[in-house]
Structure 1
């Protein structure tokens, strides 16, 4: 039982850590010296692939690498648990960010209040296509009450 709780805690750490890392990388690197790649995400038209997708591929490789490294003892491996947390973050990011917020690939609609708030906050980030950028830079961490009031 302790092994499962430990795994769940590390998985959650991987997930939450990914949101913090995503925020920092997005704000200071993507809107900094990596803007020439990230800019493809801020253009009005998107195809099946945009140069910015390389960042998702990088994080997916980190996740798979950690899971592969810890595959010999999945429940007892810190690497496997954190890699799984990063993978869960990546799947939710893809569903909420790419499919729901940007309507890429197989878009869908939802009346879920939290998903609508996330989309609204993300649209605020995209209100300008310049390098300076706007808050919020994270996908899940932002002042929900502020965007809830704006969305009424």
Structure 2
């Protein structure tokens, strides 16, 4: 497989994870697995929450795919998809856990897109109810529903 096709499979792994993340979050986390996922919507005082088990599952999928393709990394669809999933997981951890929820090693950012993602995610967390609110994805949501808070610039 050439480098362009390899890169496309990495992008497919990344984009596919956002779609899977939305569907799993919407229909399983706020459905069948709510008792586990609600630990993410409640206040907690420990370093970890039961909901972290889902991140470990997806990390395992990524590691498994990378391992299956490790014999011929550039020639392997498994390796490329696993890499895309890993990149998604790393960005998810940075944006969701560190930035939006300020877990582990929190940080701030002046990035408008980062603030927009955090604002949309905060909307999702307005309730601790199983029914929840959109958005269920992290990156794909109607950005126009979460406009910038504009300061009025009144003249003195």
State the Cα distance separating 1:44 from its structure 2 match.
2.0
Per the alignment, residue 19 of structure 1 pairs with: 18
* 1:16-44 superposed Cα distances (whole Å, 9 cap, x missing partner): 00000000000000000100100100002
Specify every segment of 5 or more residues in structure 2 that has no aligned partner in the other structure, as ranges. 151-156
Residues 122 and 46 of structure 1: CA distance in aligned 2, closer, same or farther (over 3 Å): farther
State the Cα distance separating 1:97 from its structure 2 match.
0.1
Aligned length: 150
Specify every segment of 5 or more residues in structure 1 that has no aligned partner in the other structure, as ranges. none
Per the alignment, residue 38 of structure 1 pairs with: 37
State the Cα distance separating 1:148 from its structure 2 match.
2.1
RMSD in angstroms over aligned alpha carbons?
1.0
Q: Quick check: which has more Rg, 1 or 2?
A: 2
Per the alignment, residue 5 of structure 2 pairs with: 6
Per the alignment, residue 117 of structure 1 pairs with: 116
The alignment's TM-score, normalised by the length of structure 1, stands at 0.96
The alignment's TM-score, normalised by the length of structure 2, stands at 0.94
